[in-house]
Amino acid sequence: RSQVLFLLPEIALTPQLAARVRARIPRTAVWHSGFTDGERAELWAAVARGEHDLVLGTRSALFAPLPAPGLIIVDEEHETSYRQENTPRYHARDLAVVYGRQLAAPVVLGSATPSCESVFNARPTDGSAPRLKVLPLRARPRGGQLPVPTVVDMRQEYQSQGKRAELSAVLVERLRATVAKREQAIVLLNRRGWSPVVTCTVCGVTAQCASCDISLTFHRGAGLLKCHYCGHEKPMPSACPACGGKLSTTGLGTEQLEQLVRQAVPGCRTLRADADTVGGRQGHAKLLQSFAAGEVDVLVGTQMVAKGLDFPRVTLVGVVCADRALAAPDFRAAERTYQLIAQVAGRAGRGERPGTVVVQAFDPEAPAVSCAVHNKPRTFYDAELALRAEYGYPPGAGLVRILWTGAQEEQVRAAAEGQAQTLFDAATPLGCVVLGPTPAAIAWLKGQHRWHALIKAPSRGVAQQWLDQVLPLKRAAGVTAVVDVDPLTTA
């Protein structure tokens, strides 16, 4: 008798899916890092004894001691949370494929917005057969229709309203209509807090984290300025610490967005889902239960509301600042933007009632936005893969990032520049390109100075040949060097 390993990208997705799976397979175990050491020890022993037919969990469930796994499922395979960023570094999706090959067991990679890697591997290359077989879903759950999209050009919206508008007239109108019909809506903004920038109107100084090259985010409810990278926080001052001038906030976060929705739709019952509101072991589950029970009209949240959730009464989805992430210094920015918009749009109209989607963007013609809104996945992936190939980025090419970090800037710079020649000498004969070493996009993070180099190889195989020649890197006092193959981010 064999078992099933079912991987999910986040703990937040386990409550709803676990209930549905257990209704069909009672001997299901939930596996993730949210349990105590004692609970995990008991679960480990029970799974090893074969007491469970299915293990449902996050990336660490890949190491569950199933006696005879016969099927591996990786749901939302495109999610970056499958990647373990600290030692030991691994990508659960890729390891699942290797694991399945060793077991001679089928592996199912599920996603409505697959990663560029999976799309690439599902296409023939150089006359060879595809590595993955595509099994398309021909219909939505319960046979529902895709939501009707509306794209709002916020440049024109600003002109028509004569002021800076965070909520378009179309989205406000649809929200009011949805609440009036006793239906539900989800509004996505992938940025938490009240405002991401606090600036003095007199001297122009911006509140910065003391340990990072990052501006502090204002959280109005807590009255705090917080760094979303290192966790540093301090009380919001009443005046500029440098000159005593008046402070102003710029930009929008979910905390402010929730208030704007309540103001625009009088009597609307709202709930916010972000890292500030789902604390505690059962915080996210309780929040979703409240929404599912109809106690809330509009759910405002970050990307955690965009995927894997199934609420039949949701007929409207709004996306605010849809194209904001396209400006990130990262070659995956377009892919992530497309996936986020398409995923959250899929939350609308999953029941008997038809759904609509309102997407607000300053560049609605951007391929990542337009293709997601108008459901043109092939158009997006064709263009994105062609662009990646033109500039030598994965998945068709190999990419290695070396990141040097340390408390002393001069030591980090010296270590990076001191190893530069070794990197170039190994790269040239293999046809690789070395970019850097140079300060990273975020050059100061969590009290550490950061330099990096990117090595672009014609293929992953060539990248491995390059690594074989340069590793291990020469150690430098006070400096840590991390080698990251196929990095998820280059910031």
d(CA 121, CA 134): 10
440 residue type, one letter? A
Copy the structure tokens of residue 156: 């024109």
User: HSE-up of 99 (CA within 13 Å, CB side)?
Assistant: 24
Sign, CA torsion 273/279/281/283: negative
**What pTM does this model have?**
0.92
Burial class (CB in 10 A: 0-12, 13-18, 19+), 232: middle
325 residue type, one letter? A
127 C-beta neighbours (distance < 10 Å), count? 5
pLDDT < 70 stretches in the chain:
141-143, 279-283, 308
**62-96: burial string, b at 16+ Cβ within 10 Å, e else:** bebebeebebbbbbbbbbeebbeeeeeebbbbebb
CB distance 193 to 253 below 8 Å:
yes
CB distance 284 to 278 below 8 Å:
yes
Residue 88: asked if its preceding bond is cis (omega within 30°), the reply is yes
Residue 15: asked if its preceding bond is cis (omega within 30°), the reply is no
Q: Which of 111, 115, 118 is nearest to 137 (CA)?
A: 111
pLDDT of residue 10: 83
Sign, CA torsion 261/269/258/370: negative
pLDDT of residue 280: 60
pLDDT of residue 138: 80
Copy the structure tokens of residue 26: 């009672």
Q: Which of 311, 294, 297, 223 is nearest to 258 (CA)?
A: 297
Ramachandran quadrant class, 244 (left: phi over 0; alpha: psi -120 to 50; beta: rest): left
